[in-house]
Structure 1
């Protein structure tokens, strides 16, 4: 009986897979058949499933492939698994080939009996000091990774390693000093931050928001009063000019001038009050409306003021010194 002809063989599994692909093609709608993009997607999906089915049949080698749900997620996982498996097979094949080639090279290396005799004779005739020196020379050659045990080569390698070690030691010392400096600065900054967060002098007054709102309200009220007074003054001037006869112009001119001067004086006082309130409001103009944010901003500005003051004192001390 041919392999794979019985139930559960890879041949029957292939038949199942072909039947599954045929069912998928039968389920296509007319729009799928006449859509080039959907047709390409369907062909690519069918090719991926064919590759997965072939890979599973090869991996199970005559055993029944377990049944599973065929959907896009399963196809994606199986495709990634097959690609990873193929890469692992390729890496294993490359490793085996390298090992075979290395073993072949080792087998092809011929040993000269005379070299072994010379080496044994040399070792036998060496004094204890000479044997120790030869061992030290070989150990130094291996430790320094030099191509030959020539003393000059070993000396150059030793000097190079010593220089590199000294440079690394210096760099390590610099890094340690920098780390200590950064740690000290970090501690100082944390102390300053704690002081800013806990010192009452850096916190905004509790009534700041209420004062700002009240002053803004007063400013708006005074501005409306000014506009109202200016409108009344203009109206009075117009009505007075219309009602005034040529004979009474000279009589009423003194009273009109006095009234206008009084109104101008009152208007000037209102303007001074508005300007004073606006100057007070401008002092808090850059602060946020939120009370907590305003306190933080006031604290930041006070810290900046202290820094400028310290800088001024340092410059003055430098000039005096």
Structure 2
């Protein structure tokens, strides 16, 4: 009703109710603004839009005030409970433990943590124990979920790296064992058998008479000796011949080395006479050059004859036909002029006879 003058009479009941509601709202807004600010809004701002905005702002402010008051009340109640718990713990504690209970915040923290731990489910307790064990094994003094996750990821990466290293070492160990086994087999095949440990070197001298008396037995023993039974590595029988042949080929090739070296040098550095042209070659080259130059001039003359023609074939053909027609006309004109000159220069038959009669 701010648009109505102050002395205007209101005859409509609905308008009267609206004016009463607006006046009530403005009184509430004025009281709220008076608590917040020393002065209210100016008179020209008293309209419906301003009233709507101020009402919304006042409602939001009161809701925030109520929320803050509730939080303050809860904090006060929690503080009272903590103080009561502290007093109870002090009254029930023994004299020896008085020094340990001087920190009320620590006691409250322990009580809160104990209550939280008691309220955990079985899965929650398992997870908490796992996190605590991981923190202890990782050596983290103040563990947090991100730090524990980073430590777990790092340990997993190190474990995978060690597993790969172990697998590579296993492969390398197997390869080395196989190579060692093959080396042992090759060494056993190349090594001759050792003599019997019970046989002494002087046994041959002591047993010489017996060997003379029993030649057949000695022959049998020689055949059955380890040296005769050993079937290890033996060089091929043609090894000596192969060595001789190889040495012969080396000597033959060594004797040919200077010759091959001189031949390579002669091939790498060609003689100067092969690069110097002779007089006959110069004359032939000059004649061929002059012939090519004459052919070039003829071709240029032929091309020059078609110099004025257009690039299009049809147009060039038409222009050529027109030039030929003009040439024929010029030839006919020449013939006519020549015939006229001949007739004009030659004497007439009648005139010539009269002159002769007069003479």
TM-score (norm 2): 0.26
Q: Specify the structure having the higher radius of gyration (Cα).
A: 2
Structure 1 length as normaliser, TM-score? 0.28
The structure with more helix, counted as a fraction of residues: 1
